[in-house]
Amino acid sequence: MGQSNAIVTDSLACLTPELARRYNIFVVPLSFMLKGQVYRDWVDISPSQAYELFLQDPDSFQSSAPAPVDFLNTFREAGRTADNVLCVTLSAKLSNTYNTASLAAREIKPEFPHVNFTIIDSMTTTAAEGMVALAGARAAEAGLDILEIVGAAEKAAARVKFYAVLDTIRHVYRSGRIPKIASQIGSVLQVRPILSITPETDGFVHFDGIVRTRQNGVERILKMMQGEAGSRPVRVAVMHAYALEEAQKLKERVAAMFNCREIWLTEFSPLMGYATGTGTLAISYYVEP
């Protein structure tokens, strides 16, 4: 009888609860503070609810570093059901999550000596990270062994790209990519930045320039995607920060333009949204071999 395998990721992967259930993915909820209250991402509050509070008082938002206990609880749950646990984290260049997950795996190992815990850095975040976890989960569902499952996730991580069009530049200084004064000036000028994370950016968020309107930004990222994907099969995720109607339209356009083997719609985690602001539209995708 083959070994059983479990996939774990963090809530910045933006997996919908339906996708997590469908593929039996364990999600570690990261935490943030709004108006003095601590919330667990996607558990205590939905992204839309968080954005409603954020709009009332943006300066009250505070992110917090993940704690080993966040991962310990989930690793314990996964370890009870599996011989191998693969954990996919957001980019170590953007957060201490990878190190925290690695520490938690070492701490829990004596409790589950028979379980193999493997932590991989997705080198990305948002639904791009979620797509890496999904690649591992599909390999596990297909009955592959743990080395093949890790390999499937790593191959997805080496291909997946993320592009976001922000509706405001006001909060981008929180990402550390743009000085606060530049964000303030850009906000007055009403310019909208395009951000990306691709294999070429080595796990960092890259500033890809500015556009005058969000629609111009959407056209630009679709053109970049078309240049790479063409008619080849792609897996795609469409994201939004409190802009559901616009995201649904973007999803329809992507579905019509591309040979989508998979396409899903999700909300932008507030832990990223605090730096991008509401109105953000984004896509993550990778071209299948």
**Contact predicate 156/286, CB 8 Å:** yes
CB atoms within 10 A of CB 213: 13
Per-residue pLDDT for 176 more than 70? no
Q: Which of 183, 181, 204, 206 is nearest to 196 (CA)?
A: 206
Please tell me the pTM assigned to this model.
0.93
Top CATH class, 5-30+66-159? alpha beta
Say how far apart CA 172 and CA 183 lie, in whole Å.
6
| Domain ranges for the chain | 5-30+66-159, 161-287
pLDDT single digits (tens) 95-106: 999 999 999 999
> What is the CATH topology of the domain spanning 161-287?
Hypothetical Protein Tm841; Chain: A;domain 3 (3.30.1180)
pLDDT single digits (tens) 47-89: 999 999 988 988 888 888 788 998 999 999 999 999 999 999 9
Say how far apart CA 95 and CA 31 lie, in whole Å.
13
Read off the pLDDT of each residue in 144-160 and give the average, rounded to a whole number: 98
pLDDT at position 245, please? 98
